[in-house]
Amino acid sequence: MKYRILGKTGYEVSSISMGCWGIGGQWGPIEEAQAIRTIEAAIEVGVNLFDTADSYGLGQSEFYTGKALQNKRDKVLIATKVGNWGRRVGDPVGLKTIHSIINCCHASLYRLGTDYIDLYQCHVGTPENPEIFVE
């Protein structure tokens, strides 16, 4: 596996990351054991960056990702996103204040079973209040 530095973060990441949308059950049911085996197989070939989101499977992807990485947290990077959950549950915006972002972050930390997220990204293209992302 080749590695490179992620932007200006200083993080050395695998050139290929694993997108975890599918383990959220977007294309059909997936068993927890299968999701965990998939992530473990990615680690075995050198993948160290895992990309998920709070909205993938309404949190299922973060939960499975966290379970798979729980004893490997110091060897991998987790990227997750905020901002699309509301669209999935009927709220077209979902993010209205900095507090809603903080609450979503705490929920992601809980589902991931970790106390930090390496890369936290905005998943929505046109927020109602763009200034909340600057805070």
Query: 66 is written with which tokens?
Result: 């966290």
Please indicate whether residue 64 is annotated as part of the active site: no
Q: Which of 24, 25, 20 is nearest to 39 (CA)?
A: 20
Question: Of 57, 59, 45, which is closest to residue 14 (Cα–Cα)?
Answer: 45
Predicted pLDDT at 89? 59
What are the pLDDT digits (tens) for 42-51? 999 999 999 9
User: Residue 33 contacts by C-beta under 8 Å, 6 or more apart in sequence?
Assistant: none
Overall pTM surpassing 0.75 (yes/no): yes
Of the candidates 3, 56, 64, 120, the residue annotated as catalytic is 56
User: Quick one: which of 62, 73, 54, 59 has its CA closest to 121?
Assistant: 54
**What radius of gyration, in Å, describes the C-alpha atoms of the chain?**
15
Question: Edge-to-edge, what's the strand order for the sheet holding 49-51?
Answer: 18-19, 49-51, 77-82, 119-122
DSSP annotation of 4 reads E
Residue 100: how many CB atoms within 10 A of its CB? 18
User: Which residue numbers in the chain have pLDDT < 50?
Assistant: none
Under CATH, to which class is 3-134 assigned?
Answer: alpha beta
Q: What is the DSSP letter of 53?
A: -
